[in-house]
Amino acid sequence: MINTKKFRRHSCIVAVFSLVIIPFTSIADVYNLTVDKVIIDTGKFKKQGIGYNGASPGPVLRMEEGENVTINVTNNLDEMTSIHWHGLILPYQQDGVPTISYDGIKPGETFTYKFPIVQSGTYWFHSHSGFQEPDGAYGSIVIKSKKREPFRYDRDYVVQLTDKHPHSGARIMRNLKTMPDYYNRQQQTITDFISDSEANGLGTTINDRMAWGDMRMMPADIEDVQGFTPLINGKGPNQNWTGLFKPGERVRLRFINSSAMTYFDIRIPGLEMTVVSADGNNVRPVKVDEFRIAVAETFDVIVQPKDDKAYTIFAESMGRSAFGRGTLAPRDGMVAVVPQLKKSPLLTMADMGMDHSKMKGMDHSKMKGMDHSKMKGMDHSKMKGMDHSKMKSQVDPFYAPGSGLTPNAGKDKKFLSYQDLKAQKQLYKHRAPTREIELRLTGNMERYIWSINGKKYEDEEEIRLQYGERVRFKFVNETMMSHPMHLHGMWSILDTGAGKWNPIKHTVSVAPGTTLYTETEVDAPGQWAFHCHLSYHAASGMFRKIVVVGGPKSALLNSITSKEPKV
């Protein structure tokens, strides 16, 4: 057992605090988790992985807002481990990131987490050590609200998505480093070249291919790790996870994307979904036919199946290389039609932040060393007052105009956009930011290096924030991949142009060729991780340490200097 002393001291502080503030309602529950080697059976292949309490996914931890939790985590592996409580607001020493929050949990040891639960909603937990998370070390957290929630439901299911790969995380990382397109099975072939030449002319086709070559990227680079089997609550498409309902009931589905690398587009043919919560924070209810969930995000939706029949939960990967499938049914064993995968999207030059069709005759060989920072992305903050819900066409300002990734639910169907997310309650008073920090999301695909402002984690200093300030982060995505950026410990208020109703998230997806802004009220002293949540991007350098200077508990800051990225 490590850190016993520190924890004793800490629990005293918590006890005093709860005596003063919440003397009567305080509950203190104890949760026990073991970290174990497990066998994961996807229905297509069986693979040894890592799980909790003997299974992957681990259990649903059901907590209550206002309680003080004690979580004993016993490491039964022969390597170090850790658990990060994704999206929870807590003291930084409890955040579970080795080298930033604490040292980690040694083999055979039990580490005891203790922290107050100050929020409600749908969250998850996962290992922040090595590639244990892609290997299966994840579970879900459901926190019951103290107050009545602004919606009603009769049943409640966690729907946790993952992308189980037959290769271990460590092997995938090695292969990507050796050959970045190792897992890209959708590369364009000589046949594509001939048909494109016939359609667009030889010159255009050659120019197009040369342009992509200069970018060191390929139009089919939407999923750089393919060959996985999507799982819903640990079950593959043929194992068909099923949630039961009685016709007419409202069913709350808590979607969590715990994938290592995969975004999913989710629909339930025959049912409209009312989105009521994003990343654990309630949003004004919005009815959609389909939504995209980035890695690490959560969305709660309510559906009301009225007929006595089965409905398919269909989760196709954004690059369309695979789908997850589950079923909602009145009785076990019932199934509904499983749709075909939609056509694979191809990235366009718009996803590079530029439209090359307007650049005829350019000599692409002169484009090396281009300054991508000068590329105009989209500035969402300038789009205030536009009501995008009115647009009948499928325009989503959170994608570059002409982007191959822009989602489309089909004719007369609604696909959720970040633009539709409006906070149900303001968590913070709306105010002007005190300063702006620009973070360019950068990468070199040829060497599988992902970075921020051109620098990998180990080559760059931490970002220092002042307690009490409101920082505006400007994310400029200069790569052709989407990056789900996750800030630990503090909320990211996503600027959709809705001012005080901007939604509050823990993970925001920045699409290729776009610029996106978030604001953070710096209210959590200590040091925190800030990274792209694609496992292999974070591990290869798209990661920063944030240090919050000042604040009431600044004395608690310890001096951890190691900068080894542990994701």
Which residues are at the interface with another protein (CB under 8 A)? 148, 150-153, 250, 272, 274, 276, 284-287, 302, 304, 387, 389-390, 422, 424-425, 501
How near is the Cβ of 153 to another protein at its closest, in Å?
Answer: 7
Rounded Cα distance between 483 and 528, Å, is 19
How near is the Cβ of 334 to another protein at its closest, in Å?
Answer: 24
How near is the Cβ of 414 to another protein at its closest, in Å?
Answer: 11
How near is the Cβ of 304 to another protein at its closest, in Å?
Answer: 7
Q: Quick one: 231 or 276, whose CB is closer to another protein?
A: 276
How near is the Cβ of 250 to another protein at its closest, in Å?
Answer: 6
Q: Distances from the Cα of 120 to the Cαs of 88, 148, 282, 420, in angstroms? A: 9, 11, 9, 21
Rounded Cα distance between 360 and 207, Å, is 9
| Amino acid sitting at position 299 | F
Q: Quick one: 10 or 250, whose CB is closer to another protein?
A: 250
Token code pair at residue 206: 């050659």
Token code pair at residue 393: 């066409």
Q: Quick one: 73 or 303, whose CB is closer to another protein?
A: 303
**10 Å Cβ neighbour count for 354?**
20
Contact 433, 445 (CB under 8 A): no
Q: Quick one: 54 or 499, whose CB is closer to another protein?
A: 499
Of 552, 487, 519, which Cα lies nearest the Cα of 100? 487
Q: Quick one: 374 or 392, whose CB is closer to another protein?
A: 392
Q: What is the signed CA dihedral for 329, 335, 336, 342, rounded to 10 degrees?
A: 110
Q: Quick one: 467 or 501, whose CB is closer to another protein?
A: 501
How near is the Cβ of 386 to another protein at its closest, in Å?
Answer: 12
Of 445, 520, 458, which Cα lies nearest the Cα of 489? 520
Q: Quick one: 159 or 271, whose CB is closer to another protein?
A: 271
**10 Å Cβ neighbour count for 406?**
21
Q: Distances from the Cα of 408 to the Cαs of 224, 316, 349, 352, 365, in angstroms? A: 22, 13, 19, 20, 35
Q: Quick one: 74 or 304, whose CB is closer to another protein?
A: 304
**Is the preceding omega at residue 237 within 30 degrees of 0, hence cis?**
no
Q: In the chain, count H helices and then E strands.
A: 5, 30
How near is the Cβ of 296 to another protein at its closest, in Å?
Answer: 25
How near is the Cβ of 156 to another protein at its closest, in Å?
Answer: 13
Q: Quick one: 166 or 285, whose CB is closer to another protein?
A: 285
How near is the Cβ of 286 to another protein at its closest, in Å?
Answer: 5
* Chain mean position to CA 243: 24
